[in-house]
Structure 1
Amino acid sequence: MAVNFFEESIRFSLKPKTVYKKWLKEIALAHGKKIGELNYIFCSDEYLYNINVEYLNHHTYTDIITFDNSEEEKLIEGDIFISIDRVKENAAKLSTSFESELQRVISHGLLHLLGYKDKKEEEKQLMRTMEEKSIAQFQTCST
């Protein structure tokens, strides 16, 4: 089991990494799954925009793109790209802390890999509920 964090084209360091790794593993376990290899790549708006255009043909900025590399039903594997620029902007718009918004987005990527969707309104509501539950769980991991 490996949860990895990388920075691409930005100056950012996730801390404390051990708490985030424990938290993500606990979220997966709560859904009856294990993490195989999960890579979080923190990047700039432009870097993520280019991925969005190249791989998804979407010409929009976004806060997160999740690529599911899972081959086994119970084993989660994937690459999750997160724009730190967008997380900062969203935190300001939502009047929340950067840390809370970052936790929301980090959990959002894993929740996608766990099977949660967010295209329809009822899916979005469930995703938000699960994000909030995940953020609350982070607090217990960090104490």
Structure 2
Amino acid sequence: MINFNYETDFILDSEENIASWLSAVIISEKKKEGEINYIFCDDEYLHKINLEYLNHDTLTDVISFDYTMGNEISGDIFISVERVKDNAADFKVSFDEELKRVLVHGILHYCGYKDKGEVEELLMRTKEDEKIALFHVEQ
């Protein structure tokens, strides 16, 4: 089950479409959907989590806590809407496109993809692009 929670004034346009797409992403990776909670927040909220749980004193767009057991993926994915807006401007893409990238990023981590090294990061970007393309097919 995919849940959306809001700690800021942002609200997704179509939770049903996004949830359906993310479910399709999970299936495409041959995984089972457990409980996945998205929490949309601002920079300050996510910065506190980054400090408290990861000991990182930086701003970030997404932090995921993975509770996956076996083939069933579950977890909490925190997204800073402010960072997504800024990153969209920096990367010269639409807010919606950048939002899809961070939405799927956490799911891909739960599926076993990493992004720490250059090779891992390249594979993660390729997978993000592949899964974003699924959104357009699903609609």
Q: Normalising to structure 1: TM-score of the pair?
A: 0.95
2: CA distance, partners of 1:139 / 1:15: 15
Kindly provide the amino acid, as one letter, of the partner of residue 125 in structure 1.
Answer: L
Q: Which runs of 5+ in 1 are unaligned?
A: none
State the percentage of identical aligned residues. 51
Residue 41 (structure 2) aligned to one of 19, 40, 43: 43
Q: What aligned pairs does 1:1-143 form with structure 2 within 5 A after superposition?
A: 2-8=1-7, 10-71=8-69, 73-142=70-139
Q: Which runs of 5+ in 2 are unaligned?
A: none
Give 1:15 deviation, angstroms: 1.9
Per-residue CA distance 1:76-95 (angstroms, 9 max, x = gap)? 10000000000000000011
Kindly report the root-mean-square deviation, in angstroms, between the aligned alpha carbons of the 2 structures: 0.6
Give 1:37 deviation, angstroms: 0.2
Per-residue CA distance 1:66-106 (angstroms, 9 max, x = gap)? 000122x1101000000000000000001100000000010
Per-residue CA distance 1:109-141 (angstroms, 9 max, x = gap)? 110011000000000000000000111101111
2: CA distance, partners of 1:74 / 1:115: 10
Give 1:31 deviation, angstroms: 1.0
Per-residue CA distance 1:47-72 (angstroms, 9 max, x = gap)? 0000000000000000000000122x
The DSSP-based 3-state class of the residue aligned with 1:21 is helix
The DSSP-based 3-state class of the residue aligned with 1:96 is coil
Q: Normalising to structure 2: TM-score of the pair?
A: 0.98
The DSSP-based 3-state class of the residue aligned with 2:74 is strand
Aligned residues: 139
1: CA distance, partners of 2:75 / 2:38: 9
2: CA distance, partners of 1:14 / 1:36: 21
2: CA distance, partners of 1:136 / 1:26: 11
Kindly provide the amino acid, as one letter, of the partner of residue 96 in structure 2.
Answer: E
